[in-house]
Structure 1
Amino acid sequence: MPADANPYGDIFGGWLMSQMDMAAGLVAARHAKGRAVTIAVDAMQFHRPVVVGDEVSVYARLVRVGRTSMTIEVESWCRDRHGEQLCKVTEARFVFVAIDEARRPRAISAG
């Protein structure tokens, strides 16, 4: 939407990063079977701008699980509103930690 863009019509990188964080958070919470929080974003790359009106899709996959942490690779792709060609616009690795009710790290169950 225009409120999420700069004066040139490009979507703010922070808005796109927040969408990626939400997608990664869903994967992390599902795997951890509970609350998980972002502790790091690594290797964030912006390949091309997203413009107002583009359709954006975000894909996330779990690539590593530690005792309390998970690494999730995330890609964002866009398509022009009236076109069919997809283009990768961003990619990054998000690290999440599973936390308990007291917001302390907790072990992720193996099952």
Structure 2
Amino acid sequence: MQFTAFSLFSFGVIMLEVISGRKNTTFYESDRSSNLLGYGYDLGKEGRCLELMDPTLADSDLVDELMECIQVALLCIQESAKDRPTMSGVVSMLSSERTSLPMPKQLAFSTHLNCDGC
């Protein structure tokens, strides 16, 4: 099966939604005025991925694996399709022991909202 850049992007969004327990379409973070994708990216840059996780997952034995999944999801939702990994690359990242993954570049649809007076 051939995955398109759009389906890989969608995979990344779904991963973030599952891990956070929130929907991208209804998420709003008032302190940062961003959507779920932008919020996840900001937390990832700041090394605070734990804050993105659903609280019921944050206490599990899989925290390191979940943080890696967040990083992979952020790589999948980069703005430029050429910067996104391939699906085989995603499988490889998730199935191998890696010490660090690259930081994603600019994300698609993650611009902060101008919410003066919200």
TM normalised by structure 2 equals 0.27
Higher strand content, 1 or 2: 1
Higher helix content, 1 or 2: 2
In terms of Rg, which structure is larger?
1
